[in-house]
Structure 1
């Protein structure tokens, strides 16, 4: 992937290591919010001490981000063409009867149950898509209206959506990812009463609930129980499953573009899917640092709590650097800070 402005940024990000990992901007976060949440207080005064090199690093990010953004059609077509030829996400990302017939052998033996007959996007390319991370940068952002104005809205790991957060994160959801560990740890793997989890899932309306059912053996049964639960309760939501072949191809694609991580984050998975399915992709809540870019005040880990996420699983700063390069090249738009009502 071509470098845009400051190729040393990635190296600096790696060197800072755990000092910059106190904020998660999306993530497969096993402590994502299905319980009731009180909005965390955001400190608005500048911290007395920043980690060594942090101010310079954030200043460099702002310099690269502050240029007037315009979509570059040529860069967009070139990048999405390479992404599509490598991953075929529009056709392959979600398991359907068309791309994975009943009886198909997966990476491991697992019971194949009902799958969608057709791709959930119905061969439709959306004009605008919003991919919403859960980073603390969303608190007090006022981005809710912009997010809800998108034609298709994707969210990560069942975040809380209610009146407390609507002004900043919006209310609409068309697709939301769900880490199976949430159901294992907070809802007894859905082996008992399920009404409480259904009450929470109602906040996502008619959305698709996207689960990595076949990424690990331990994910399969609970993911199937989620699908059964939605069906048993007559929910308008549908459970859909990531195709493990797509995830492997996607990992290889990003690896070839400089992202060496044990596993991709949910955020970059959804951003990649959006780039194939949408003409204009907008990212919100993606910020891997513990200080706000404007004012440098301390941020909470998520917009809804300050629970620390796993640090060892994803190469978050490198992912952010790659997404920032795509922003600079006009391929997608990365929103940082407050959203202006007249912002386009």
Structure 2
């Protein structure tokens, strides 16, 4: 067993202790925790307010939820607890960012209990322990499973006080309720029956993690000798049976862990989740995406949201059975956190039973922005000391700095000689907005401490707020210095010195358009994300000159669209690859790409980035967009109103938007195909969809603003945008104007 493989799932084992606790509640004798390092399982006291502003000590109790506890809510406007008189509608939504630390409620340690809990028949059961601290912490009849009929409005209003996965804070009732209503009630809450061979009435279980301690342990036979074996995440056994066994009775997962481990560990032979006869699948509902996945799974349809286009049922390879599928209850998850992991100490309280503090001062220098006040944070000259740490959650909307609209400029910029270039426009508003010599690409000599301190004031991908200097600097230092920022040269056959480009998106508007020949007739063709051309050449062409991507879009597109023929990213001769550094995982990807190694840690642990370029990677043809350019695109072209909300830091332009603006800064004449338009409902989501699919608007992008922006640029003749005028695919062309439009 390769040593590295023993550690390959460690990034996913934050839930290992959860699986141990789950198995403890299902077994009657001993749990053999294999490759699991446990910590303290109990803390004697919780501190919380007594409602009068004082701190009281409360030993954990085991009461059932009372009606008053369920009906209590916190009114933000009144800044106090109130009785929720109307339990026929959801309470006002609470947001995590309203709290500076874990809020503690009077009913924090109150849980649903299971009337059908197993009666202990094993004299050696851990439930019969004499350890008083364990007995106080352990609830043998805690409600393990979530299923239809449990989530009425009263229960919703109780659970809406707790963040995911411990409750439904921030979520809407109508987002969660439809999924829960699909979960069948288990015929029995007892997951594992006592084996007939167990004369003493005991159930013996093994919980198997993925720690490297199992490497060459030869524990496989011992593990498989248990009545039941629990595994989780990337439960890789093939080829490692001697060390870890090959039996799986219970497989525990989140939607994300199931999906990503199949992608990440495929190279090690993990091509399907465990499928033993009679296996039980247990899902941890980690967040909204899990309920979206769950709904698709139980309806036998594609999921929505983060897993849009994915059919969850296909991941079970015909072994899914509702009667053997279980979903953990948020109360059980919160019980594990409260009683097994954490010690809560709230030293200050507002007298309401929770800690509720809105941002009042950001953790930066005294001259820095507080909330959203515009101030100059620091002198931006040469500096040798890093600015203090900032956290995007300390701002209730996008912070504005005096230097917010100042950008690095390209010292090598050369003005286009093309008389009809969009950069020679006579439109005063466009000229005021457009910076032709903006620095497009990041390179190794760009990131000193002074530049870090400037960019640290902006959230990713527009800067480096909240991330580690050493990690980012190590990656940036690997980017070779460019000979020229002009990645596209004027073709030798072009007499007018103009560069004509096509930017091709994936919108269904191209389905049946027969524009492939026209697209390929441009000097250069830009594509992004799942740039599927095979089988669609007549509509979208086949050439790709510039391929734009993030690490995530590259990896996920290859997995999600493999069946559609997207076997590899474009590899045309002389192709240019452009990376959007979306966040820390992209810099991690970038550093390993440049060093020609597998990724040593993080989101894409053990992936080898160069493998995704199919032998066509070349440092001289690889570019990384500068955070200043990304922020310029947002600030000057796509400044969404969503940036004034508490979730401002999630909002950014799409990869397609960045690609289009990149083309406008590297080409003279830009034609845009396959971007969504106002009549998007008439077309499928993607041009490669075989049936009509609805366009899904993800919350982190302002699609309507983007459509309006492209339409305005088209009307003002700065770009040409494909607008389909009939189902036959006919279009109306706008002739080149004297002002440089197309």
User: TM-score, normalization: structure 2?
Assistant: 0.31
- Contact 2:678–2:707 at 8 Å: present in 1 too? no
Select which of 616, 620, 643 maps to 1:235: 616
Q: Distance in 1 between matches of 2:450 and 2:423?
A: 41
Matched, 1:81 2:448: no
Structure 2 CA distance for partners of 1:30 and 1:329, relative to 1, 3 Å? farther
- Cα distance, 1:95 vs structure 2: 1.6
Select which of 633, 652, 657 maps to 1:250: 633
Q: How do residues 89-168 of structure 1 correspond to structure 2 at under 5 angstroms? A: 89=438, 92-97=439-444, 105=452, 107=464, 108=467, 109=469, 110=472, 111=474, 112=476, 113-122=478-487, 124=489, 126-162=498-534, 164-168=535-539
1:180 maps to what in 2? 551
Q: How do residues 265-284 of structure 1 correspond to structure 2 at under 5 angstroms? A: 265-284=654-673
Q: Secondary structure of 1:302's match? A: coil
State the structure with bigger RCO (CA 8 A, min sep 6), 1 or 2: 1
Q: Secondary structure of 2:629's match? A: helix
- Cα distance, 1:143 vs structure 2: 1.1
Select which of 285, 299, 303 maps to 2:683: 299
Q: Distance in 2 between matches of 1:240 and 1:168?
A: 28
- Contact 1:95–1:243 at 8 Å: present in 2 too? yes
- Cα distance, 1:116 vs structure 2: 4.3
2:274 maps to what in 1? none
Matched, 1:333 2:720: yes
Structure 2 CA distance for partners of 1:145 and 1:114, relative to 1, 3 Å? same
Cα deviation, 1:175-208, whole Å, max 9, x if unaligned, reads 11113214555779xxxxxxxxx96135444322
- Cα distance, 1:274 vs structure 2: 2.0
Q: Distance in 2 between matches of 1:32 and 1:203?
A: 25
Q: Distance in 2 between matches of 1:251 and 1:102?
A: 24
- Contact 2:546–2:576 at 8 Å: present in 1 too? yes
1:221 maps to what in 2? 588
Q: Distance in 2 between matches of 1:276 and 1:181?
A: 25
Q: Distance in 2 between matches of 1:30 and 1:221?
A: 24
Q: Secondary structure of 2:569's match? A: helix
Q: Distance in 1 between matches of 2:734 and 2:715?
A: 17
Q: Secondary structure of 2:499's match? A: strand
- Cα distance, 1:221 vs structure 2: 1.4
Structure 2 CA distance for partners of 1:93 and 1:179, relative to 1, 3 Å? same
- Contact 2:502–2:524 at 8 Å: present in 1 too? yes
- Contact 1:176–1:209 at 8 Å: present in 2 too? yes
- Contact 1:132–1:154 at 8 Å: present in 2 too? yes
Structure 2 CA distance for partners of 1:324 and 1:248, relative to 1, 3 Å? same
Q: Which has the larger radius of gyration?
A: 2
Q: Distance in 1 between matches of 2:652 and 2:707?
A: 15
Q: Secondary structure of 2:701's match? A: coil
- Cα distance, 1:88 vs structure 2: 3.5
2:652 maps to what in 1? 263
2:175 maps to what in 1? none
* CA RMSD, Structure 1 to Structure 2 (Å): 4.0
- Cα distance, 1:159 vs structure 2: 1.3
Matched, 1:210 2:559: no
Cα deviation, 1:265-296, whole Å, max 9, x if unaligned, reads 2222222222222221111011245756xxxx
Q: Distance in 2 between matches of 1:146 and 1:116?
A: 35
Q: Distance in 2 between matches of 1:216 and 1:272?
A: 20
Q: Distance in 2 between matches of 1:322 and 1:342?
A: 19
Q: Distance in 1 between matches of 2:629 and 2:587?
A: 17
- The count of corresponding residues between Structure 1 and Structure 2 is 261
When structure 1 is superposed on structure 2, of 99-108 and 113-122 the one drifting more is 99-108
Q: Distance in 2 between matches of 1:98 and 1:77?
A: 35
Q: Distance in 2 between matches of 1:32 and 1:176?
A: 22
- Cα distance, 1:236 vs structure 2: 5.5
Q: Distance in 2 between matches of 1:167 and 1:248?
A: 36
User: TM-score, normalization: structure 1?
Assistant: 0.62
Structure 2 unaligned blocks of 5 or more = 1-305, 311-419, 456-463, 491-497, 560-565, 597-608, 644-650, 736-742
